[in-house]
Amino acid sequence: MNRLRNRILLALLLAASFALPRLAAEAQAREQVEAEDITESRPATAEEREEFTRAIAFGKRYAAIPDAKAALEHYLRADAIFPDQPGVLYNLAILMVKEGRYADAQSRVDRYLALYSTGPEVETIRKLQTELDFQKDFEKRQQETKNYVELFNRGRYLLARGEYEQALRIFEEVADKQPTDAAVAYNQALAYEQLGDFVRSTEFLRRYLALTPSPEDKNDVDAKLFKLEAEITDMRTKFICPYCGLKLENGATWCHRCWHGPYLFDEAQWNSRPCLEGASATRTMYYVDGRFGGNELLSCLSKGGPYGQALAYSPAKQKTIRAARKAEGWLYDGDYLVEKKVGDQKVIVLEQGADVLERLLAPVTGDVLAYEAAKTGTESWNLDREDVVIDGVDYVKSYSYDAAGRLARETVAYQNRGACDDLIQMTADYVRNQSGALQSVKLGGGYSGLQVEGSPTVAWSGTLAFSYDDKGRVAREEFVLSSFTKTYAEKPRADQIRDDIKSFYPQMKWKQPIDLTRSGDFCGAAGSQRLSNRIDLRPFYTVSPSLPILLPPGVAKMTVDYAYPEAYGLKNDK
Amino acid sequence: MRRISTSILLVGLTLVSAGAGAQAPLTCQSGAGIDPANCAVVHYHVKMYRPDTKTSVELTGLNEFASRTACEAALAAERARNTAVVEFLKKNEPRLQYQADQFGACHCDMTRTQSSANFLDDAKRAAERRTQLDILARVRLRLIDSNALPNSELVTSLRVPPGTFDAAQWPRTVVSPSAKELAAAPEPLPDTAAKVTMVGADAAKSAPAASIEFPLVEVPTPKEVMVTRAIAPSVISGETEPASTDTTTPAPAADSGEANAAEAFVNYETSRVQAILRASGQIDDAATKKSILEAAVARMQLLSNLKLLVETAGPRSALAGAFRAVDGEAARLDLVGKLFGESVKSHWAPVDAKDVVVDIPAELTGDPFAVLREATGKYSREQQKQSLYHLLARTSNLTSSQLLSLADLMQSFL
């Protein structure tokens, strides 16, 4: 009786794990006490036996069809009528395996082995256990794969959302789980590319190729690698034109597709006006008699430090610059600016030649600005001649360069439409020391007037000198006008002109030089207004960014004093 | 005498050339590969009358325009200026017989094309400008001599007009930007750019079939059956004691932080179903017994689905919380009532085993998903709960999406 009771007790304990075998152990202690007194056996009724036999017979027939699902239902009925029959447990386990209900099958196997450890089906049921173990392992692996794919897809999602750093974190985690998954390496390459780290991007693309020996997209990946490597090289060897965004060879003085420049990053003059706390540039003017003519604080020109420091090429910077131009109405043809529109109207059309920008056309105003250049490097050109418009006056500038490719001489010709239409010539000659630093620039200019005006000849000359501090920074620029004279070769025949000249220069004598340093050069009158050809240093924007100025009459000296933050040093910063 | 004769000769030559020029078309020679109808730069020639020599000179390099419109506007303005001068002088100095300037039409500018006969280098261009300046200066003087006021528009307009090019559209110097200004936010990649992992792609989606064929065994019909007295003592003894005296009802497992919050509940209810089945052994009526068996199998199926649903809802879900919070029979039945309705609740823990059978109206069992989805109020909440019971009791292979939606629905029942 005790044996029977124990058997019943055990059966009931296991029954509790019918659907939840894992809880069987937990439930065991609880039920052991309570069930001991409540279960007992009794003779089976005829109906039970009949029902059971019927369920078994049906189960068997369905299993033979085979219809495992129907068979399972009938064996479950049988188990419900007479629980824990060894054959039923065994058959249930087999049918449950066939139906993929491995957890349920495992509970039947466990119950069988617990109840009938020496039963006739033990040998087979142990093989079934091996099968279940395999299934368990299979499911575990499937779950791991599912988890992996989910994590991978999260990284992919972040990539598509543009959250590249987060995507990289996920892909690093994924790569730890599956180091040979080529797709991870590829996606990491994409993320690094988007973040601008092309070196890392190429590393992962190579890893991708290594992990997929013959990928279908090999050609595409090779092309991408080639492009990225070219970009890496460009990032080391090129800078970007801050106006049009074109990639330029390091050392190029000009952007040959928009003629902005000069990009003289190593010249102290071009690093003299950084936008930094503690940096300043103050222009002071003095009249010929030494009187103070006023101060002017010049605006900074290079944000964040030395000139061009931020201009090392990168695709992202290029994109930003182009976006800024496009926002202004500019259109690009590939890498080059081609036209600017205001509304629907073309205001500027750039004629891009095979190599360089050749002309600028302004269809509305009719202006035509021409450019000529000479090739100096693989992809660099020096501007030989250009038209510069300042206040409605077209200045034709020509440049000469020394053997080292540095600016050596500039000539400017213009018709002073703002005054008397005189045809004026100016020059700037660069003087460098042995190390190439710019010491001074000799400036001069003048013109010959008309015969009807008395054939006047005007000439001026001056020198722009630079002094440097111990860090090689420009400490001061000083322009001194050394002479400014006008000589009338003859007395004009027209009374009107003679009278005008006498009113301009009461002390003048025909055929004698007139000193213009105090008065300036008056060339005519328009009613009561005196027209004057002032010394125009504005076209010389290439000499130094602080030089361009229309010199006021009587000013004979101009200085620009620079101050820098202590730590700002051209050599250190660059 | 020699100077005079030279001058006469020069004037004569100039007049001859002027006479010949008067018939010239005042235009550039075509050719040099430039399409006259489609050239970027146009200009016009002007044949200026010199009041000092009373001759005319053709000047071709004084102007150039980026559009025909701009050219024609400038030409019209210059014509108007010249006309005003001529009219003034004819009126005030008729003896001068002052001649008007002649203007050509706007046409392709060939003066910068080196291969053209009209090509002008910088020196020639400057010389033409100087000639123009000289003529204009002389005309100004003539006007003043003819009593025009020096500051009158007639006089002051005889200057080369300044350009109107807006240099702001084409700044010559550019401020070097900072790195921060140039930092661009990367653009999102297209969805198709990233690769899809092939991990698991070639793995079997379902477990492979067993490697060995396991035959079913013959099952003999047993002679004894186990009964559980405590579940339905009335069935055993023939009395009608209420189930409240049941002392063997298994206690719920304490929350042990298990992965599925429903495990304790399901485990407990599984025991209850088995107890009911054992108690049904005392029933003589085969049909009743069969219906109890079917109800028990259905209840087991429901419990199995419940476990999946709680797992789907997640350990922190309200559903899991509700199962975890069950701490006794009352709470258990309360939860059953909330989820499956009061009518199911009354059959959940029956005093009599045959009461385990739940009768759900056919209209709720035909398409339970349709009943559950119904949102127009056709079915009451109670009916939907019954339908849910039926669905969970009869369905063994719920898909993941079905599990998700059912879990959400059940949470709404709480």
Q: What is the pLDDT of residues B92-131, one digit of tens each?
A: 988 888 999 999 999 999 998 888 899 999 999 999 999 9
* Contact B210/A at CB under 8 A: yes
Check: CB of residue B252 under 8 Å from CB of residue B332.
yes
**Among candidates A34, A44, A413 on the partner chain, residue whose Cβ is nearest the Cβ of B248:** A34
What would the pLDDT profile of A127-146 be if each residue is shown by its tens digit?
888 888 888 888 888 889 99
Lowest mean pLDDT, pick from A6-10, A149-153, B14-18 = A6-10
Cβ-Cβ contacts under 8 Å between A and B: the total is 392
In whole angstroms, what is the distance from residue A340 CA to residue A337 CA?
8
Q: Would you say residue B255 has pLDDT above 80?
A: no
Distances (CA, A) of B209 to A69, A102, A146: 15, 12, 21
Mutant choice from A10, A18, A101, A341 vs B, greatest count of B C-beta within 10 A: A18
**B226/A11 Cβ within 8 A:** yes
**Residue B269 pLDDT greater than 60, yes or no:** yes
Residue A433 touches partner B, C-beta closer than 8 Å: no
Give the pLDDT confidence of A111-126 residue by residue, as tens digits.
Answer: 888 888 888 888 888 8
pLDDT band at B135 (very low <50, low <70, confident <90, very high): very high
User: Any residues with CB less than 8 A from the CB of B409 and at least 6 apart, and which?
Assistant: B372, B384, B388
> B364 with B390: CB under 8 angstroms?
yes
A residues 472..491 contacting B (CB < 8 A): none
Which among A55, A242, A417 has a CA at the least distance from the CA of B158?
A417
In DSSP terms, A284 is beta-bridged to A295, A559
Q: Using CB atoms and an 8 Å cut-off, which of residues 326-385 of chain B contact chain A? A: none
Task: Please state, in angstroms and rounded to a whole number, the distance separating the CA atoms of residues B388 and B402.
Answer: 12
Say if the Cβ atoms of B250 and A30 lie within 8 Å: yes
Total Cβ atoms within 10 A of residue A553 = 17
Task: Say how far apart CA A477 and CA A466 lie, in whole Å.
Answer: 5
Q: Which of A194, A300, A452 sits opposite B186 (nearest CB)?
A: A194
Q: What is the mean pLDDT of residues B329-339?
A: 91
Is A42 close to B281, i.e. CB distance below 8 A?
A: yes
Measure the CA–CA gap between A307 and A315, rounded to whole angstroms. Answer: 20
Question: Which chain B residues in 61-100 lie under 8 Å from chain A, judged by CB atoms?
Answer: 64-67, 69-71, 73-74
Which residues between 376 and 415 in chain A have a beta carbon less than 8 angstroms from any beta carbon of chain B? Answer: 388-394, 396, 413, 415
User: Comparing C-alpha atoms, which of B78, B75, B9 is closest to residue B42?
Assistant: B75
Interface test with B, best of A452, A499, A533, A542 (most B CBs within 10 A): A452
Higher pLDDT, A111 or A366: A366
pLDDT at A571: 52
Query: What string of DSSP letters covers B129-155?
Result: HHHHHHHHHHHHHHHHHTT--TTSHHH
Cβ proximity of A92 and A115 under 8 Å: no
Is A46's Cβ below 8 Å from some Cβ in B?
no
Q: What is the DSSP letter of B177?
A: P
Helix pair B263-280, B329-340: axis angle to 10 deg: 90
Binding-face residues of A in 142-161 toward B, CB within 8 A: 142, 145-146, 148-149, 152, 156, 159-161
Task: Name the strand (E) or helix (H) holding B382.
Answer: helix B381-394
A552 touches chain B (CB under 8 A): no
Q: How far is A287 from chain B (nearest CA, A)?
A: 29
DSSP-assigned beta bridge partners for residue A339: A331, A349
Q: Rounded to whole angstroms, how far apart are CA atoms B264 and B67?
A: 89
Does ipTM come in above 0.90? no
| Selected residues 298-327 of chain B with any CB under 8 Å from a CB in chain A | 300, 303-304, 307
Tell me the nearest-neighbour CA distance from A90 into chain B, angstroms.
8
β-pairing, A274-275 vs A302-303, is parallel
Q: Which residues pair with B176 in a beta bridge?
A: A302
Judged by CB atoms closer than 8 Å, whether chains meet at B207 and A417 is answered as: no
Q: Give B241's pLDDT tier (boundaries 50, 70, 90).
A: very low
* A412-436: b (≥16 Cβ within 10 Å) or e: bbbbbbbbbbbbbbbbbebebeeee
* Burial group, residue B188, by CB count within 10 angstroms (0-12, 13-18, 19+): middle
- Indicate the pLDDT class of residue A13, thresholds 50, 70 and 90: very low
| B149 neighbourhood in chain A, CB within 8 Å | 527
Residue-averaged pLDDT of chain A = 88
Say whether residue B257 is in contact with chain A using an 8 A CB cutoff.
Answer: no
Q: Name the residue of chain A whose CA is nearest to B299's CA.
A: A19
CA distance B127 to B122: 9
Q: State the pLDDT at residue B206.
A: 67
What is the rounded radius of gyration, in angstroms, for the C-alpha atoms of chain B?
55
| Residue from the list B65, B171, B224 with its beta carbon closest to the beta carbon of A42 | B224
Nearest to A423 among B129, B161, B277 (CB): B129
pLDDT at residue B252 tops 80: no
Question: Which residues on A lie below 8 Å from B228 (Cβ)?
Answer: 12, 35, 38-39
For residue B233, cis peptide bond before it (omega within 30 degrees of 0): no
What is the percent of chain A with per-residue pLDDT over 70, rounded to a whole number? 92
Pairing mode of beta strands A474-488, B102-103? unpaired
Give pLDDT, residue B208.
Answer: 65
If you ran DSSP here, which 8-state letter would residue A340 be given? E
Can you list the positions of beta strands (E) in A288-366? 292-297, 302-303, 330-333, 336-342, 345-352, 357-361
Predicted model pTM: 0.65
Whether A47 contacts chain B with CB within 8 A: yes
- Please report the residues numbered 205 through 244 in chain A whose beta carbons come closer than 8 angstroms to any beta carbon of chain B: 242-243
* A-chain residues near B224 (CB < 8 A): 41-44
Residue with tokens 């939907």: B384
Residue from the list A71, A91, A184 with its beta carbon closest to the beta carbon of B217: A91
Distance to chain A for B148, nearest Cα, Å: 11
Separation CA A56–CA A29 (nearest Å): 33
What pLDDT, on a 0 to 100 scale, did the predictor assign at position A234?
A: 94
* Among candidates B219, B224, B307 on the partner chain, residue whose Cβ is nearest the Cβ of A41: B224
